Structure 1
Amino acid sequence: MSINNLHSLLNGRWFIHESYGHSLLPSLNNILKGNSLKIEKEDKKPESFVVQLGKSPVVASTFSNSDNNNDYVLVMDLKNPIYKYSQECGPQGTKSKINILERYKTDPYCKGIVLDIDSGGGQVAGTPEFYDYIREYTKPVVAYTDGLMCSAAYYIGSASAYIVANKRADHIGSIGTMIYFIDFTGWYEKEGAKVITEYATKSTEKNRDYEELIKGNPEPYIKNQLDPITEDFINDIKKVRSTVNEEVFTGKTYSAADSITMGLVDEIGTLQTAIDKVFELSKKSSNQNLNTDMSKQLVNVQAVLGLDAPLASTEDNGSYLNAEQLETVENRLVELDASNSALQTELDAALANTEAQEQLTASQGVVTGIEASIDGMLTSAGLDVTGTLTEKATALSAKVAEMGGKDGSNHTNPKVDVNNEAAAANVVGGVDISGAMNN
């Protein structure tokens, strides 16, 4: 194990089942004594597999879907103590597992994830973050256990959409928080070291809970450190497992059968049950997306039909109009027919008005021509009259009457000089036309 990761084992709080935690102490003791726990690469087991329908599992790191284009499920193991960071001599940390799952998000052939869990828990650090990631994952995630699914392991698995437990599973639950605190003072002194700790004058609260713990007073540490973490743990479980029995929050563990009763798991089954469930949830998710689009269209249809309530529907027949809605639509059609008749009447009237408008325009043209003629006559008569057409016509009539009353209205016989017959011959009607004739 890298010395850089040793601090993650010796520092911090744990979501861990007690017996599982005790089983890790011999390894920790060997590390402190300088004994190597290095594991050869060939002894390491792959932590994720790809399972296609009707085919054998394939190690995820060697799998390529480019040739066959078949749908598959990624099975990721959580079968070791849970750490935030990967251990050189141990399992991948939650950070590394998140990075792996991130790569499968955009693969359309990956239908979802199975978390194959056999772990008694692990560090607090990194566990809530992994929980959040699983809960918000865009593909279906199903958790499965045939061994331990305790504390941090249950915390993570609870974020799945569904939990399957093998009927022979060992322990499920252990919802709670603890600290494995080791006072190394004696060990340091045995090695010849003396530990001296001092704080600045103003640092009165710095590490106070920890110092009280060393002195044998654990209450402040429990109240200020462990209790808030446990409350978050419990609240997160309630968010995703709304039917869980309150009794499970005492930290107790349960068998697979009892876990069903307590609301910790959803079904007794095998790993294949979990894989099949992912395919099922993926199909439902696709149908839900389709139904969402159809629902939006149905809302528009309902608005057009004037319906207050949604269309009735069944899984077999789809959406349809019930008797009440059908009557509403029929009444609406009658209203629309009456409305259309009224609109047609208005349209016919508008067309009629158009013909009248054309006749009026033609009449206005005639009137304009008459008025222009009268204006011309008034000008010829030397009259300057403005006003309406009636006023102009009255003025013209008065002028005609005036001219009719003068002598020019009667026939006049001209006096002709008998001695000047030539001149007489050039006078017609009292008008001398000699000039005209010469022209």
Structure 2
Amino acid sequence: MSVKNLHSLINGRWFIDKPYGHSLLPSLFTILEGKDISIKSGEREPDIFISLKKSNAPLVAASGFDSGNNDSEYVAVINLKDPIYKYNQECGPSGTKSKMQGMKSYAQDPNCIGVVLDIDSGGGQVSGTPEFYDFIASFKKPVVAYTDGLMCSAAYYIGSAASHIIANKRADAIGSIGVMVSFIDFSGIYEKQGAKLITEYATQSTEKNKAFEELLKGNPELYIKTELDPIAEDFINDIKAVRPGIDPSVFKGGTWNAQDSLDKKLIDSIGTLQDAVNKVFELSTTDNSNSNNNSNSKKGTMSKKTKSFPAIQKLIGAKGEGIATISTVLGNKGVQLSEAQLEVLENTLVANEAAITAATGKVAAAEGVVTALEGSVDAVLTTAKVAVAAEATIETKITSLGAEIARLGAVPGAKATKAKAEGDSFEDKDGIVNAEDAHNEFYNKA
């Protein structure tokens, strides 16, 4: 059979949980043997369902739902229950390109108020996954990710961009944030069939495929450093950007159950698919879309929830009665701050402003003390008739005053004298100050 993009199945880098990847190998071998494993029309579960606002209302396949003849608001439930591929595969799975194209139609439908990504996948290709992540992060309507099975590697990468993540309490595994390479060396097969594989490079092409050639020789270090590590770094940074409170331990590639995932902030809550649908309706009423653009209701009158953050508004120069959305750009990734995060930022700014005000008061008080001290020094200098330039510093004035005190201390007769009194010893010259001065003639002759 003909399988589109077969090269992507047998060579490439993967965001995938290893046991899940191994489970796909029988299908791969069947394809390589030329056998047809495609799913017949009608046997495959629809990729997209529709859920109306009514609680616990049954899901309706999107193919049988005509939003043009239905005046009800609805949520599109989009399945991600296969390995993640960039392009459609004839053996069944729809690629991320098709998923994004389908979601664009729901972004334009005024009756659709948001999307649930119903995920049960252990991951897939690197190619196409970051692009889908960017698409979800900038989607114009609320997106909630839900899993009751696997939400690992590429599947978690995509789901992390949603504004809220819910896992069923019985979910199998969540996480597996990491990168691996999987490829097949066919040279042995060619040689067995009598072919000899010869590869040569131009003199100028010394760096072409160097990392891959080293990998084939059993030297993976260069390939890991130049190919896998940068992809893993981008993966981790993208997760940090949309989930700033996440436990750093998840970046080593482990997986967890629902409760542990909640504790590590891989997810936001534990619940059911209906809870995920209800969350989209809740977010739609607060205009908490994934992008900086406000989504419109079917009547174009969806209210915008704003809240006043005066310190933040003052800092960023935002005018008006409040802030609906604040976004900062990290590279080409948009990051939306939640109300809780805004509260933290606002409280921090207010606390900092109070601390600055208190410090300013202390500085003013200290300046008053210094001013008073300088006034006292000026008065003493005036009394001592010491001339000092008006622009002289307080240090210079104090130095000048000290010099004048030293000068006066060296003048003869500067020390006080006392008259000789009964009981004074003539030999105790220290008892009579300046005993050797001429005016103490009587004392000297005694």
Partner of 1:48: 48
What is the match of residue 443 of structure 2? none
Equivalent residue, structure 1, for 2:244? 242
Q: Which residue type is aligned with residue 199 of structure 1?
A: Y
Give 3-state SS (helix, strand or coil) of 2:286's partner: helix
Q: Which residue of 1 aligns with 2:304?
A: 288
Counterpart CA distance in 2 for 1:247 and 1:266 is 17
In structure 2, the residue matched to 1:106 is 108
Is 1:22 paired with 2:38?
no
Cα offset, 1:5, TM superposition: 1.5
Distance 1:215 1:271 in 2: 48
Q: Distance in 2 between matches of 1:191 and 1:66?
A: 59
Q: Which amino acid aligns with 2:304?
A: Q
Q: TM-score, normalised by structure 1?
A: 0.66
SS state at 1:13 partner: strand
**Partners of 1:267 and 1:73 in 2: CA distance:** 19
**Structure 2 CA distance, aligned partners of 1:228 and 1:164?**
29
SS in 2 for 1:12: strand
For residues 217-242 of structure 1, give each alpha carbon's deviation from its aligned partner in whole angstroms, at most 9, with x where no partner exists.
00000000000000000000000000
After TM superposition, list the pairs within 5 Å mapping 1:88-127 onto structure 2: 88-127=90-129
What letter is aligned with 2:86? K
Q: Secondary structure at the match of 1:39?
A: coil
Which shows bigger deviation, 182-191 or 257-266? Answer: 182-191
CA distance in 2, matches of 1:32, 1:298: 63
1:114-263 to 2 correspondences below 5 Å: 114-263=116-265
Structure 1 pair 297–259 and aligned structure 2 pair: CA distance change class (3 A): closer
SS in 1 for 2:72: coil
Residues 290 and 71 of structure 1, relative CA distance in 2, 3 Å threshold: farther
Q: Quote the offset at 1:31 in angstroms.
A: 1.3
SS at match of 1:41: coil
Check the 8 A contact 2:124/2:153 in 1, yes or no: yes
Instruction: Give the letter aligned to residue 231 of structure 1.
Output: E
**C-alpha separation between the residues in 2 aligned to 1:14 and 1:93?**
15
Q: Where is the helix percentage greater, Structure 1 or Structure 2?
A: 1
* Distance in 1 of aligned mates of 2:304 and 2:186: 57
CA RMSD of aligned residues (A): 1.6
One-letter amino acid of the counterpart of residue 262, structure 2: I
Q: What's the offset of the Cα at 1:89? A: 1.1
> What one-letter code is carried by the residue in structure 1 that aligns with 2:181?
I
Larger CA deviation: 69-78 vs 105-114: 105-114
State the shift of 1:10 in Å: 1.8
Contact 2:75–2:280 (8 Å) recurs in 1: yes
2:197 is paired with a residue whose SS is coil
CA shift, 1:103, in A, is 0.4
Cα 1:37–1:191 shift into 2, 3 Å: farther
* Secondary structure, aligned partner of 1:15: strand
Whole-Å Cα distance in 2 between the matches of residues 155 and 208 of structure 1? 29
Shift of 1:107: 1.4
Structure with greater contact order relative to length (CA < 8 Å, sep ≥ 6): 2
> In 1, are the aligned partners of 2:107 and 2:141 still within 8 Å (CA)?
yes
Please state how far the C-alpha of 1:290 moved relative to its aligned partner. 6.6
Give the length in aligned residue pairs. 297
Q: Which residue of 2 aligns with 1:320?
A: none
Say if 2:3 and 2:89, in contact at 8 Å, map to a contact too: no
For residue 5 of structure 2, what is the aligned residue in structure 1? 5
Q: Distance in 2 between matches of 1:121 and 1:266?
A: 20
- Give the C-alpha shift of residue 47 in structure 1: 0.6
Per the alignment, in what secondary structure is the counterpart of residue 68 of structure 2? coil
The 3 A distance-change label for structure 1 pair 201 and 71 is same
5+ long unaligned stretches in structure 1: 300-439
8 Å contact kept, 2:148–2:170:
yes
Question: Matched residues in 1 for 2:252 and 2:282: separation?
Answer: 34
Equivalences for residues 353-372 of structure 1 within 5 A = none
Q: What is the distance in 1 between the residues matched to 2:58 and 2:145? A: 20
User: Residue type matched to 2:222 in 1?
Assistant: P
CA contact (8 A) 2:148 2:172 kept: yes
Which consecutive residues of structure 2, in runs of 5 or more, have no partner in the other structure? 288-301, 309-317, 323-446
CA distance in 1, matches of 2:214, 2:69: 62
Compared CA separation, residues 240 and 290, structure 1 to 2 (3 A): closer
Q: Is the 8 A contact 1:105 1:139 kept in 2?
A: yes
Separation in 1, partners of 2:186, 2:13? 17
Matched, 1:273 2:269: no
Amino acid at match of 1:278: V
Secondary structure, counterpart of 1:102 in structure 2: helix
The DSSP-based 3-state class of the residue aligned with 1:257 is: helix
Matched residue, 1:413: none
Kindly state the Cα deviation for residue 291 of structure 1 after the two structures are TM-superposed.
6.5
Q: Which TM-score applies when normalising by structure 2?
A: 0.65
Contact 2:4 2:90 in 1 (8 A): no
Larger Rg: 1
Whole-angstrom CA distance in 1 between matches of 2:58 and 2:306? 32
Contact 1:2 1:87 in 2 (8 A): no
Q: Deviations over 1:355-407 (max 9, x none)?
A: xxxxxxxxxxxxxxxxxxxxxxxxxxxxxxxxxxxxxxxxxxxxxxxxxxxxx
Residues 237-289 of structure 1 show CA distances to partners (whole Å, capped at 9, x for unaligned) of 00000000100000000110000011100000000010000000000114435
Q: What secondary structure does 1:87 align onto?
A: coil
| Amino acid of the structure 1 residue aligned with 2:61 | V
